[in-house]
Structure 1
Amino acid sequence: MELNLVEMLVRSSCAFFVILILARIIGKKQVSQLTFFHYVTGITFGSIAAEISAQVETPFLDGLVSLVWWAVLTVAVSYISFRSKKARVLFDDKPSIVIQNGVILNNELRKARLHTDELAMMLREQSIFSFDEVLYAVFETNGELSVLKKPLARTATKEDVSVSAPAPQYLPMQVVTDGKIISQNLTELQLTEDWLMKKLSKKNIHGIEDVYYVQVLENGSLYISIKNASPPS
């Protein structure tokens, strides 16, 4: 197999500088991959550049034209999105409020194809282990979660006011999701379904099928979200 060293070096160098120039033209949003559109565009740029720099069989000018045209389309779509709100929603989607006034909006989670396990993981990534701390949570178009804590969760810590802080009784953990009891998690917490149902009955909830999500909090109380519940005004 013949190695076209000079040709490969020239093609790679040209592709490198063309990508650099096009990236500068497209702007910082593409580099940060703010949305799914920018993510896909970034991958495609890399694939085209790799093809024209590493594959001898690919005509260099054809690949270069494809790369430049893709950049033109990206700039055009970005310009249209900048000028039109409807176009922004079409190309980039829009943020979804998944927790509003402390209530999980299961319909919005379903639209975002986000499970409560994933939502809990994203909260833990922000050092939030209890759903009870959250006032609002917004699932952004870049796949990240923005959280506004409840006012009491944002006040001075016990350390700040020199108050003793006992160790938490439980690690916050979900025990009901989409109307189904998670027996394994109850067992890990050394709790029973009977204990759970008694706790729910005190909240005038006598059937598990209408409950969307339940989490045991640090002090043994429950965070409860009912299916299709309307957030308090």
Structure 2
Amino acid sequence: MPELLLRVVLAFSALLVLTRIMGRKELRQLTFFNFISGIAIGSIAADLIASDTFSLTNGMTALVVWSILTILFGVMDLRSRQARRIMEGEPVILVHQGEIMEHALRRARLDVNALKAMLRQKNAFAVSEVAYAVFETDGNLSVMKKKDAERTAGSTKFPMLPTEIISDGRWNRANMEKLALSHEEVLDQMKRGGLEGVSDVFYAEMEQNGSLYFSRKQ
């Protein structure tokens, strides 16, 4: 009985500390990696409490090591775009200007019926009324209807999605090429906003109306 109580107290304390360290994302915001990692930590904690063949030392070691790995990968996710892409993937555009992207749908492992069900949950009952539908890394679908996009874009003939050009102080060269946007144009806009260079920028994107948004690095 004393050992069982010790196991429960240690597992509870470890989970409390680890959940505080690892952040406070809501369940619907968790990526696949976060979700699997949470299940694994819960499973290790359950075995630590209930399994007679799982020693206290081994259980605590497994719980701490797995948690440290999760935290390290979380730090990598925050600091490296490449690591973020590997662990979480990238958002996928499933509907572009009212047209279903068949290859993107296959890549997301979805069929048309699943896509239509997700669109209906966003009050979009016809694909033709959708300007963009983006399948996010947490499994949610973000939808922009044509009428909303046109109202936001103003005089633009047909809107585009806001597009990242700088993230974590680094150029997104692929997006800049798609936008036919030069470094000189962006740097000129930066200086007008009191920013000396790309190292001063945490995040920047081109908005639907063609303007640039900058978030200063702190």
Q: What is the total number of aligned residue pairs between the two structures? A: 151
Distance 1:136 1:99 in 2: 5
Aligned to 2:46: 50
Superposition deviation, residue 144 in structure 1: 0.7
Distance 1:60 1:144 in 2: 39
Equivalent position SS for 1:91: helix
Mapping for residues 66-85 of structure 1, pairs under 5 Å: 66-85=62-81
- Shift of the 128–148 alpha-carbon distance from structure 1 to 2, 3 Å rule, reads same
Distance 2:5 2:19 in 1: 21
Larger RCO (CA within 8 A; separation ≥ 6): 1
Measured against aligned partners, the alpha-carbon deviations of 1:129-174 in whole angstroms (never above 9, x if no partner) come to: 211221100000011100001117998xxxxxxxxxxxxxxxxxxx
Aligned to 2:201: none
Distance 2:47 2:115 in 1: 38
Distance 1:21 1:136 in 2: 40
Higher helix share: 2
Superposition deviation, residue 93 in structure 1: 0.4
Are 2:124 and 2:145, in contact at CA under 8 Å, matched by a contact in 1? no
Aligned to 1:28: 24
Which of 57, 60, 83 aligns to 1:61? It is 57
Q: Which runs of 5+ in 1 are unaligned?
A: 156-233
Are 1:8 and 1:56, in contact at CA under 8 Å, matched by a contact in 2? no
Equivalent position SS for 1:122: helix
Aligned to 1:225: none
Q: Which runs of 5+ in 2 are unaligned?
A: 152-218
Measured against aligned partners, the alpha-carbon deviations of 1:20-51 in whole angstroms (never above 9, x if no partner) come to: 10111111238665211101101001100000
Q: Does 1:87 align with 2:83?
A: yes
Q: Does 1:146 align with 2:148?
A: no
Equivalent position SS for 1:123: helix
One-letter identity of the residue aligned with 2:139: G
- Shift of the 30–51 alpha-carbon distance from structure 1 to 2, 3 Å rule, reads farther
One-letter identity of the residue aligned with 2:61: V
Aligned to 1:105: 101
